[in-house]
Amino acid sequence: MPTISRRSFLVAGGAAGISACASRGTRRDVAPLDIPNETRADAPLFFNAEERRFVSAACARLIPEDELGPGAVQAGVPNFIDRQLAGPYGQARTWYMQGPWRKGSEQQGYQLKFAPAELYRLAIRNLDAYCRRQFHAAFADMSNSDQDAVLTALEKDSIELVDVPGKTFFTMLLQNTTEGFLSDPMYGGNRDFAGWKLIGFPGARYNYVEEIEQYGMSYPLPPVGLLGRRGGRTRKI
């Protein structure tokens, strides 16, 4: 299979023991890291220390802690992203990743040969180098306003990075941050239901027959996750 070498390369970067080259014909719907990771401790599975610092700093600006409550960092989002990148998503396990590679139109969508994990690794390296040149500090060590300026420039596609398109990385980072803030806590983010409490979503409930016609009423019960009321705060093993 043409994808073997690329994937073995990726596996070297992550801790996931993924064999993407299992017999063709087998769908591995549930790869090990799709499974809730609340039983794992907080130690990074994918990020190195610098990357982890970058992602935490970026998450703190994307969804800050403020008068409305916890932000992405307090909700465990950096940990969530780390798990996602170490798992099948990070390896683009379900994506079509065969060449030839060409830049397409916007309508044709993602055409980079980088899986998310690889994109993060390259982008963070590029961005920290950029920040050191422009601001004489790594992103994580910059002031909040300088960090915001860099994030805004990325969003507007006005920073050119060496290896990857900055805007593509920004979009992915923001998407993953939002996912971590708003997904079931068993994936490591949305700790103590911080995201769901902010918006008023009661979580993994399944029956609103009684309530749906009580128009204008707030739903009275607190959020619940698939693993229950605690929502899956990291259990140390």
Partner 1 sequence: MATKLAAVDAVIVGFGWTGAIIAQELTDAGLNVLALERGAFRDTIPDFAPTHIQDELRYAVRKATFEEPERQTLTFRNNSGETALPMRQLGSFMPGVGVGGGGVHWNGQNWRFLPTDFKVRSHNQQRYGKKFLAPDMTMQDWPLSYDDLEPHYDRWEYLCGISGKAGNLGGVIQDGGNPFEGPRRREFPNPPLKRSAASLKFDEAARSLGLHPFPCPAANTSRPYKNPLGIQMGQCTYCGFCEWFGCGNYSKASPQTTILPVLLRKDSFRCKTDANVIRVNLDSSGKRATGVTYVDAQGVELEQPADLVVLCAYAHHNVHLLLLSGIGAPYDPTTGRGVIGKNYSYQMSAYIDVFFDEIVNPFMGAGALGQVVDDFNGDNFDHGPHGFIGGAYLSMWTTGGRPILQHYLPDGTPAWGSQWKRAMHENYLRASGMQIHGSVMSYRQNYLDLDPTYRDIYGSPLLRMTFDFQPNEHAMMKFTSQRAIEIAKAVKGVRGLHKRAREGHYGIVEYQTTHNTGGAILGENPRDSALNRYLQSWDVPNLFVMGTSAYPQNAGYNPMGTVGALTYWAAAAMRSRYLKNPGPLA
Minimum CB–partner distance for residue 126 and partner 1 (Å): 20
Closest approach of partner 1 to the CB of residue 31, in Å: 10
Binding site for partner 1 (CB under 8 A): 1, 3, 23-27, 29, 34, 61-64, 66, 68, 71, 88-89, 93-98, 100, 102, 104-111, 148, 151, 155, 174, 177-179, 182-184, 187, 195-196, 198-209, 211-213, 215-219, 226
Nearest distance from residue 143's CB to partner 1, in Å? 15
Start-to-end Cα distance in the chain: 38
- Closer residue to partner 1 (CB): 218 or 236: 218
Distance in angstroms (rounded) separating the CA atoms of residues 42 and 33: 14
Name which of 59 and 161 has its Cβ closer to partner 1.
59
Q: How far is CA 185 from the centre of its chain?
A: 13
Shortest distance, position 184 Cβ to partner 1, whole Å: 6
Q: Indicate the residue among 129 and 226 with the shorter CB distance to partner 1.
A: 226
Q: Angle at CA 117, nearest 5°, toward 149 and 181?
A: 60
Nearer to partner 1, 129 or 206 (CB): 206
* CB of 30 or CB of 49, closer to partner 1: 30
The nearest distance, CB 148 to partner 1, in angstroms, is 7
Q: Please answer whether residues 124 and 58 qualify as being in contact, where contact means their C-beta atoms are separated by less than 8 angstroms.
A: no
| Alpha-carbon span 49 to 116, nearest angstrom | 18
Partnered with residue 203 across adjacent β-strands are 224
Closer residue to partner 1 (CB): 156 or 235: 156
130: three-class secondary structure by DSSP: helix
Q: What are phi and psi of 66, to 5 degrees?
A: -155, -165
Query: Using CB atoms within 10 A of its CB, is residue 174 exposed (0-12), middle (13-18) or buried (19+)?
Result: middle
Nearest distance in Å: CB 193, partner 1: 11
Neighbours of 216 (CB within 10 A): 4
Q: Which of 39, 122, 114 is nearest to 83 (CA)?
A: 39
